[in-house]
Amino acid sequence: MFAGRIAMERLATGSARLASANAAGGTAGSAAALPHVTIRGLTKRFDRVSIYENFDLDLPRGKLISVFGPNGCGKSTLINMIAGLVTYDAGEILFAGKRREQVKLGYVFQNYREALFPWMRAFDNIGYPLKLMKVPKPERRARTERLVAHLDVKIDLNRYPYELSGGQQQLVSIMRALIVEPEILFLDEPFSALDYEMTLFMREQLQRIFIETGMTIVLVSHDLEEAVYLADRILLLSRHPARIADFVVFDSARPRSAATLSSREFVQTKAHCLDVFQREVRG
C-alpha cells in the first residue's frame, strides 16, 4: 500500500519530478541493481515442440525492455509465463524475493477489442482491477479520475469500448493496466493494430508513462524501430527453442524524440540489432 502511494504521487506530480526521476535512475542504488525478474532453467513445450529449453534471463528493475524476434519464436509465450497466464514445464521465475501473487502486474493485449469488456463503460473498464481488489466505489472513481487527468486523456469515458476508436480503446486498456500501479507492465504488440499516426502518439504516451512511473516495462514489438526507440534494453530472441541472441543496451537520454531516430547511437544500435536478427533468421 505504501509503495503504491509513492508511485501514485509520482504519477500525480508528473513532469516536475521528471528530472529527479532520471537522476535517481542514473545513480541507482543497490536495490535497483538487483534484477526485477529472474528466470532460471525455464522449459516450455507445446506438444513436442520445444519453445524454451533451459532458458535463463534477468530483467533489470525500472527499465523498459523490448523483446524482438522472429514470428512464432515465443515472445508472447515468454511474457505470458512471467505473468502467470501460461504454465511451464520446468524452471523457475522469481520476482526479487516475492511470490507471483504478491506482485502487481499490468498486461496490455494486442487485441484490445477482445481484451476490454464491452458491457462496461470505458470508465468502469479502467476501474475493474480495483473492483477485484475490493476498493470501495468512491475511491475507485477518484483514482480513475486522477489517472485520466494525469494522462491528459481526451476521451469520453462514459462511452462503451465499441464506441471508441482503436487507439482510444488501446489507451483505455493501458489505463486499466496502470490503475493498480503495477510494478511491471507487459505489453504484447500493443500498437500493431493501430494506424501509423496513432502508433506514434501512443509511443509517446508510453514513453511518458515510463518516465513518470519508473516501473519495469516489457514491450513485445515486431517493429525494430519502435523496439529500439522506446527501450533501455533490447532482448533479441532466436527461433525456437529460443536463445538470447543478444541483450542490447540503448542508453540514449529521455525523453526521446524524432531527433533520437536520426542520432548516431540510435542508427548504430538499430543496425546492430538488425544484423543479429538476420543472422538468427538465416542460421
Partner 1 sequence: MKQRLDPLLPVVGVVGLIVAWYGAVWYGIVDPVLLPSPGATFHALWSGMSGGALGLDFVKTVWRTAVSTAIAAVIAIPLGIFLGSSERLYRSVEFVIDFFRSTPASAMFPLFLVLFGVGDKTKISVAAFGAALVILFNVAYGVMNARKVRLLAAKVMGASRLRVLLDVMLLESLPQTFVGLRNGVSLALVIIVVAEMFIGSRDGLGHRVFEAQQLFDMPEMYAAIFAAGALGYGLNLLFILVERRFVHWSGK
Ligand X SMILES: Nc1ncnc2c1ncn2[C@@H]1O[C@H](COP(=O)(O)OP(=O)(O)OP(=O)(O)O)[C@@H](O)[C@H]1O
Binding site for ligand X (CB under 6 A): 46, 51, 69, 71-77, 222, 240
Write out the three cell numbers for 255. 525523453
Q: Is 1 in the site for partner 1 (CB under 8 A)?
A: no
Q: Are 238 and 68 in contact (CB under 8 A)?
A: no
Per-residue DSSP letter, 242: P
Stretch that binds partner 1, among 22-30, 87-95, 108-116, 263-271 (CB under 8 A): 108-116
Question: Quick one: CA dihedral 103, 46, 109, 244, positive or negative?
Answer: positive
CB nearer to ligand X: give 208 or 243.
243
Count, residues near partner 1 per rule CB under 8 A: 21
Residues in the chain, overall count: 283
> Is the Cβ–Cβ distance between 42 and 53 less than 8 Å?
no
Closest to partner 1 by CB, 62 or 106: 106
Could you give the 3-state DSSP secondary structure of residue 200?
A: helix
Report in angstroms how near the CB of residue 28 gets to partner 1 at its nearest: 28
Non-local (6+) Cβ contacts of 93 within 8 A are 37, 38, 39, 42, 81, 82, 100
Measured from the CB atom, the residue of 71 and 262 that comes closer to ligand X is 71
Distance between CA atoms of residues 49 and 33, nearest Å:
35
Q: Between 110 and 169, whose beta carbon lies closer to Mg ion? A: 110
> Is the distance from CB of 167 to CB of 206 less than 8 angstroms?
no
Among 31, 33, 132, 259, binds partner 1 (CB under 8 A): 132
Q: State yes or no: residue 122 binds partner 1 (CB under 8 A).
A: no
- Our finding on whether 114 is near partner 1 (CB under 8 A) is yes
Q: Which is nearer to ligand X, 51 or 217 (CB)?
A: 51
Beta carbons within 8 Å of 92's beta carbon, 6+ residues apart = 39, 40, 41, 42
Q: Which residues bind Mg ion (CB under 5 A)?
A: 76
Which lies closer to ligand X via its Cβ, residue 58 or residue 223?
223
Q: Which of positions 236-275 make contact with partner 1 (CB under 8 A)?
A: none
Residues 45, 241 contacting (CB under 8 angstroms): no
Q: Which part of the chain contacts partner 1 (CB under 8 A), choosing from 21-29, 60-68, 126-134, 204-212?
A: 126-134
Instruction: Report if residue 105 touches partner 1, rule: CB under 8 A.
Output: yes
| Whole-Å CA distances, 77 to 71, 251, 266 | 12, 27, 28
Q: How far is the CB of 77 from ligand X (least distance, A)?
A: 3
Nearest Cα residue to 36 out of 117, 125, 98: 98
Q: Which of 16, 133, 149, 267 binds partner 1 (CB under 8 A)?
A: 133
**Interface residues with partner 1 (CB under 8 A)?**
83-85, 105, 107, 109, 111, 114-119, 128-129, 132-133, 160, 162, 176, 180
